Structure 1
Amino acid sequence: MTGRIDSPKRKFIETALRLFSERGFYGTSLADVSGELGLTKQSILYHFKTKEALYGAVLEEVAARFDALVNNVIQQDLSAEKKLKTFLAHLLEHTREAPYDGRLITRELLDNLERVEASRKWYLKHFLTESTSLLQDLPKWRYRTEAERTAAMYQLIGAISYFSISEPTLSAIWGKEKLDETSGVFLSTLVSRI
Structure 2
Amino acid sequence: MTDAAQRERLLGRPLPSVSYRLLVDQDGAAAAQEALAVAQRHLRQVTLADRSPEDVAAAHARVDAAARAVDACYETIVLTALPLVGEVTTESLIAAHPPTDAQMAAAKTDRDKARHAGEEVPPWPAWNDATFRPALLAASAQTAGMSEQDWAVMLGERMSAGEVRGLWAACVAINLTGRAAEPVVLPKGWTRTSS
Shorter-normalised TM range: under 0.3
Q: Based on CA coordinates, which of the two structures has the bigger radius of gyration?
A: 2
Query: Of Structure 1 and Structure 2, which has the larger fraction of its residues in helix?
Result: 1
TM-score of the superposition, structure 1-length normalised? 0.25
TM-score by length of 2: 0.25
Higher strand share: 2
